[in-house]
Amino acid sequence: MLTKITIVLALAVGFLVIAVVRMTDIAEDAYAGPLPALTQAEAESLERLRNDVQHVSLKIGQRNFTRVSGLENTLQFLRSSIEPLGYKVQMHDFSVHGKALQNLVIEVRGVAVPSEILVVSAHYDSYLKSKSADASASGTAALLELLRLNSGRKFSRTVRFVFCANGEPPWRGTADDGHVRYAEACEAARENVVAAICIGSIGYYSETAGSQDFAFPLNLTYPSTGDFAAVFGAPRSRALVEKVAGLWTVETSFPLQAGAIPGWVPGVPSGGHEAFDAVGIPSVLIGDTREQRFPDVGTAYDLHDRLDYDRMARVVHGLRRVVDELSRAGA
């Protein structure tokens, strides 16, 4: 009897390992080794990212459902930064418990296949009682910098850059999450959203061994040093995960890990991509794995001077290349 139990357990462990490898063997050819010197464009982005994160997290501070004035000030800052770039800003309004909230939308209409839409999003709110430099001023700054880098560009597909409200707890993933409201609006309008790239927290990195704390079973295949960017999507979005990872590997000299993993697996970061996945839109989340690397994320110690702006700039420029390729007709 004991032998049979041992065999069954061994088979179960074997199947688990195979399943985990299958879910995580996507970015095996990503860059590894010393980072090259920043390009001039990346160095310029570094300074803008630092300034934007400091403004949102330090000058504005808390910005959430209990601090609506912070949300309003963030929207004002975003509009004043975006409109001089030549973009037209639209507001997607929704209400939560009688309070009016807004997602900010910038659409660059495609010149070849405008009916095909690529969404690139981040959320601009904070945790309760936190300045939330990493979660999520870093994502907000990244999306704003992508708009700067693409100012005046023409895309084959329509590209929408969306800054969402209510993306942090206690609203994240609920019916009142700004990403959920926006994804549902896209579905209700029967829009052809071909993919969604959701930017999470992207500011915290460490070269210290043991700094990355993936839960079992993901720790079987992912590294234990938090010096990489991560791209995750649900199994139904595997093709998009593979495409994003492939584009990144070809174009970007920065470490990347990727996975097409069910959200119920312990340690899979949650984010706005889940809202798009729920309505059948292929979607991925790119980020720094949040609390699995930065235990103080979303606390009073989630501060601007703890972020790595050098690496943030590299990640943003990697994202720019991914967006450029995914915006092409037929991509």
pLDDT at 107 exceeding the cut of 90? yes
**pLDDT digit string (tens) for 221-248?**
999 999 999 999 999 999 999 999 999 9
pLDDT score recorded for residue 16: 43
43, 57 contact by CB (below 8 A): no
Residue 310: inside a domain: yes
CATH number at residue 72: 3.40.630.10
Residue at 91 is within a domain: yes
Grade residue 10 by pLDDT with cuts at 50, 70 and 90. very low
Print the domain residue range for 298. Answer: 2-326
165, pLDDT greater than 60: yes
Mean per-residue pLDDT of the chain: 92
User: What pLDDT was estimated at residue 22?
Assistant: 56
Residue 250 inside a domain? The answer is yes
- Residue 8: band (very low, low, confident or very high) from pLDDT cuts 50, 70, 90: very low
Residue 24 has pLDDT above 80, yes or no: no
| Choice between 11 and 231, residue whose per-residue pLDDT is larger | 231
Q: Is residue 331 part of a domain?
A: no
- Does residue 151 lie within any of the structural domains? yes
Residue 107 domain-assigned (yes or no): yes
In this prediction, residue 26 carries a pLDDT of: 85
Residue 9 has pLDDT above 70, yes or no: no
- Which residue's structure tokens are 């990347």? 256
What is the model's pLDDT at position 2?
55
Residue 154 has pLDDT above 90, yes or no: yes
pLDDT tens-digit series, residues 266-298: 888 889 999 999 999 999 999 999 999 999 999
Q: What is the pLDDT of residues 184-198, one digit of tens each?
A: 999 999 999 999 999
Give the model's confidence band at 6: pLDDT under 50 very low, under 70 low, under 90 confident, else very high: low
Residue 173: pLDDT band by 50, 70, 90 thresholds? Answer: very high
Percent of the chain past pLDDT 70, that is, above it, reads 92
Q: How many domains does the chain have?
A: 1
- pLDDT, tens digit, 9 for 90 and up, residues 30-84: 899 999 999 999 999 999 999 999 999 999 999 999 999 999 999 999 999 999 9
